Amino acid sequence: MKLLVVIVSYRVVDLTIDCLHSVANEIASVPGIHVAVCENGTGDDSAQRIQKAIDENGWASWCTLTPLEVNLGFTGGNNAVIRPALQADDPPEYVLLLNADTIVRPNAFKALVDFMDKNPKVGIAGSRLEDPDGTPQRSAFRFQSPLGEFEGNFKLGLVSRLLSRWIVAPPVVNDTFETDWVSGASIFIRRQVLLDVGLLDEGYFTYFDDIDYCFNAKKKGWPTWYVPASRVVHLVGQSTGVNSKPKRLPPYMLDARRRHFLKNYGPLYAAAADACMILGLSLWRLRVVLTGKRDTAAPHALADSIRHSVFLKGFALQDVENPALAGNRG
């Protein structure tokens, strides 16, 4: 198999089917594509509706469905498909993790395959993500740092200019270049990377798994590149409810952030990152109060950042609690 495309669907059955319609147009662009949809425990008739769409549209020759009974998050849902694929007689040369809330543009798959075929030392590649009207979204990033956490939460122009080299999400450019990490909405991974690094860390559940994966791939000598010739529309946050509009961040997102810093940098660095985030948010709140500036931070962001910091939650490396299983404990 040349390419395995994995689409994890949770509470977005209509978007998943729309995504498959766009994917169907690209199947012929690369010989040896297989698409695997994981219906990630939505709990209604979503799996039946996706299977019906596969059957009625004649997609069964290249698309299969794996239904799960419980939502295992982005990491567990993808791993449920990737794990058996790697153990198969014809394992994929490449794996593309594609969000269900995406629409692939023409040649999105071919651009990634061609780039990776020509650059065998590159381990991971990411698409250019964009709005439906073609406006690019920031999808090539730097790794988080304490100064980056301060800048991103304070959001003051002078400070941002002084700390420009630590900005996590730099402005979009249309060049192909090496970057620290790319968005998991469309992330293309070489099979050897999966063998060297392993599967996605299910301790994250959802969020920060893409950062973690690129970080650990880089440690193994596999760089990540941004490939804007591969264009993918991303309908931001449809499957998680977190998007560009200010909305309270879910606990599992903040816990995933803490796990990332503790796992990959250690307790002192995690403490510095938390302190800088809390300081940045505090100064931002003061600025909002003094100037009347519109508050664009997530509701309760300061209180939640303190509540989920290492200072209150501790320095032990913990798995992020799966909210789908939390109610079943005891």
Domains of the chain in sequence order: 3-137+172-234 (3.90.550.60), 251-326 (no CATH)
Q: Residue 270 is inside which H or E element, if any?
A: helix 267-291
Tokens of 175: 């060049």
CA distance 223 to 225: 7
Is 102 in contact with 235 (CB distance < 8 Å)? yes
Q: What's 29's DSSP letter?
A: G
- In total, the chain counts a number of residues equal to 330
CA distance 176 to 194: 23
List per-residue pLDDT tens for the chain, 330 residues long. 999 999 999 999 999 999 999 999 999 999 999 999 999 999 999 999 999 999 999 999 999 999 999 999 999 999 999 999 999 999 999 999 999 999 999 999 999 999 999 999 999 999 999 999 999 999 999 999 999 999 999 999 999 999 999 999 999 999 999 999 999 999 999 999 999 999 999 999 999 999 999 999 999 999 999 999 999 999 985 554 545 567 899 999 999 999 999 999 999 999 999 999 999 999 999 999 999 999 999 999 999 999 999 999 999 999 999 987 765 443
pLDDT at 329: 40
Is 126 in contact with 140 (CB distance < 8 Å)? yes
pLDDT at 47: 97
Cα Rg of the chain (Å, integer): 20
The amino acid at 283: L
Q: What's 124's DSSP letter?
A: E
Residue 322's CB is within 10 A of a number of other CB atoms, namely 17
Coil, helix or strand for 224?
A: strand
| Side-chain half-sphere CA neighbours of 131 within 13 A | 6
Rounded to two decimals, what is the model's pTM?
0.94
Is 174 in contact with 228 (CB distance < 8 Å)? yes
Q: Which residue spans within 72-223 are E strands per DSSP?
A: 94-99, 102-104, 124-130, 140-141, 177-179, 181-182, 186-190
CA distance 293 to 270: 30
pLDDT at 237: 58
What distances in angstroms separate CA 58 from CA 24, 25, 54, 67, 170, one per listed residue?
Answer: 10, 12, 6, 19, 42
Cross-strand pairs, 66 = 38
